[in-house]
Amino acid sequence: MGERQGDDGLAVAVAVALLVGGVLIGRELLGLWPVVVVAYGVLLAVYCGPMLARRVADEALVRRFARRLKRAS
């Protein structure tokens, strides 16, 4: 279990290094604001993506269940 936490910490460190490096290189090539928008967009997608997908799937399941109840009545 301790080894897994070390691997997770290493993965986070590498991800942060890549993100910072990518932002710095992108800033020089494209300018500050386009790079900030893309970087934050990726971070939000990674952070909110699974929650949003779960919520959409739950809503679809509820709609399907409601249709079945409506047909049964």
* Domain count for the chain: 1
2: confidence class by pLDDT, cuts 50, 70, 90: low
Instruction: Indicate whether this model's pTM tops 0.75.
Output: no
The answer to whether 45 and 62 have CB atoms below 8 angstroms apart is no
The answer to whether 64 and 48 have CB atoms below 8 angstroms apart is no
Q: How far apart are CA 7 and CA 10, in angstroms?
A: 5
What is the 3-state secondary structure of the chain? CHHHHHHHHHHHHHHHHHHHHHHHHHHHHHCHHHHHHHHHHHHHHHHHHHHHHHHHHHHHHHHHHHHHHHHHC
* Domain range for 47: 2-72
Q: What is the per-residue pLDDT across 27-62, written as a single tens digit (0 to 9) for each?
A: 899 888 888 888 788 888 888 888 999 999 999 999
